[in-house]
């Protein structure tokens, strides 16, 4: 590791080391730089410090955020150490800042790095405005999360026309929600089914599902529970998306690659003979991942609804 002024703030020492790796070619264009979680582990700093370091590198135009991947090296020539790259007109006058800019910036951060990297200070750094100026647009992080969730649902519009049949309608709705969660893995952490977000575009999904089950003789209690259970299956499956993305970013291994790397350990567990049924399964080619679990669970739930309506 390069030598740095021990009196310098921790984030600057991290910036200096990562800058050195980029300049030296240890990290090339398109390579992923350490995530905020990796920085926390490697340098023993707080998450906010790790986020600040990545933001500083981004301001130097050394890294950029790629949704679903994280921060990668841009390949641009580095600027003078300790000085941010020219903003090329990016700086926003405080009086020109609006709520949509705040929400979109917050979503970009969360898409690329997850909710732990999101803070009002981080958003302000990205927009190059004072942190307090954000509170003119949103009351705080709680309201910001509601606005982010509403914007996520708004970008994936519900169809204006219904396909024929309740099953096709609920399946279409579930797949649409799944695509939203895949695009914004952090969203599953924000959504609550017992304390629903007062986000109009999210509430519209509940209305759409209730309409699909209307005129089928169900009482209101049963109908609402069916709708919420179905939504909970989609959300519950989607909770794993962000964790999978974090694990892949931190380890550099996909789910299949990780399982391959664990083959010896897994084989050792089964060799003792204590798990015979699992051992028989391990000799069969079975694709089990988040996608297959979502699909299997969706069809079984819809089968259950069909039996209930058949009564």
CA distance 35 to 11: 14
Which range of residues forms the domain containing residue 28?
10-78+96-138
In a domain, 151, yes or no: no
Residues 177 and 74 reside in one and the same domain: no
The answer to whether the CB of 213 falls within 8 A of the CB of 166 is: yes
Model confidence over 16-38: pLDDT tens digits? 899 888 888 888 888 888 888 78
CATH number of residue 40's parent domain? 1.10.10.10
In a domain, 159, yes or no: no
Q: Which two tokens stand for residue 266?
A: 């897994």
Residues 52 and 120 reside in one and the same domain: yes
User: pTM of the entire structure?
Assistant: 0.69
Residues 125 and 176 reside in one and the same domain: no
CATH number of residue 213's parent domain? 1.10.357.10
Residues 107 and 210 reside in one and the same domain: no
The DSSP result for 163-218, as a single string, is PSSHHHHHHHHHHHHHHHHHH-TTHHHH--SSS----HHHHHHHHHHHHHTTTS--
**11 DSSP 8-state letter:** H
3-state helix, strand, coil in the chain (%, to 5): 65, 5, 35
Helices (H), 45-132: 47-59, 99-113, 120-127
Phi-psi region of 44 (alpha: psi -120 to 50; beta: other; left: phi over 0): left
Residues 134 and 224 reside in one and the same domain: no
| 150 contacts: CB under 8 Å, gap ≥ 6 | 197, 199, 200, 201, 202
Residues 212 and 264 reside in one and the same domain: yes
Residues 201 and 72 reside in one and the same domain: no
Q: Which two tokens stand for residue 23?
A: 């300049």
| 275 contacts: CB under 8 Å, gap ≥ 6 | 269
Nearest CA-CA partner of 158 in 207, 195, 225, 108: 207
pLDDT number for residue 270: 72
Instruction: Report the domain count for the chain.
Output: 2
Chain Cα centroid distance, residue 248: 13
Nearest CA-CA partner of 38 in 58, 56, 53, 22: 53
pLDDT number for residue 250: 63
CA distance 211 to 162: 10
Residues 71 and 177 reside in one and the same domain: no
Q: Which portions of the chain are predicted below pLDDT 70?
A: 1-8, 67-68, 75-95, 245-256, 258-259, 266, 282-286, 311
Model confidence over 187-235: pLDDT tens digits? 998 988 777 778 899 999 999 999 999 888 889 999 999 999 999 999 9
Helix (H) or strand (E) holding 72: strand 70-73
CA distance 241 to 115: 13
User: What are the beta bridge partners of residue 71?
Assistant: 65
**1 DSSP 8-state letter:** -
């Amino acid at each position: 590791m390069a030598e740095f002024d021990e009196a310098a703030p921790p984030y600057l020492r991290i910036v200096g080391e990562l800058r050195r790796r980029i300049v030296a070619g240890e990290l090339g264009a398109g390579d992923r730089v350490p995530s905020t979680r990796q920085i926390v582990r490697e340098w023993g700093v707080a998450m906010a410090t790790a986020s600040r370091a990545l933001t500083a590198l981004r301001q130097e135009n050394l890294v950029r955020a790629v949704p679903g991947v994280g921060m990668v090296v841009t390949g641009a020539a580095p600027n003078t150490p300790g000085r941010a790259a020219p903003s090329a007109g990016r700086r926003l006058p405080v009086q020109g800042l609006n709520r949509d800019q705040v929400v979109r910036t917050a979503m970009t951060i969360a898409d690329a790095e997850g909710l732990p990297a999101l803070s009002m200070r981080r958003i302000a750094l990205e927009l190059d405005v004072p942190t307090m100026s954000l509170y003119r647009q949103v009351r705080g992080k709680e309201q910001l999360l509601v606005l982010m969730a509403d914007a996520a649902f708004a970008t994936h519009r519900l169809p204006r026309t219904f396909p024929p049949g309740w099953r096709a309608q609920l399946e279409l709705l579930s797949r649409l929600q799944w695509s939203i969660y895949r695009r914004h893995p952090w969203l599953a952490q924000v959504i609550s089914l017992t304390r629903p977000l007062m986000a109009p575009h999210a509430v519209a999904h509940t209305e759409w599902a209730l309409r699909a089950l209307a005129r089928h003789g169900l009482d209101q209690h049963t109908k609402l529970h069916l709708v919420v259970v179905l939504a909970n299956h989609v959300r519950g499956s989607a909770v794993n998306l962000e964790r999978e993305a974090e694990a892949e970013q931190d380890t550099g291994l996909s789910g299949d690659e990780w399982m391959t790397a664990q083959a010896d350990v897994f084989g050792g567990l089964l060799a003792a003979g204590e798990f015979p049924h699992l051992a028989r399964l391990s000799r069969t080619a079975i694709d089990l991942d988040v996608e297959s679990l979502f699909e299997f669970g969706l069809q079984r739930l819809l089968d259950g609804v069909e039996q209930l309506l058949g009564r």
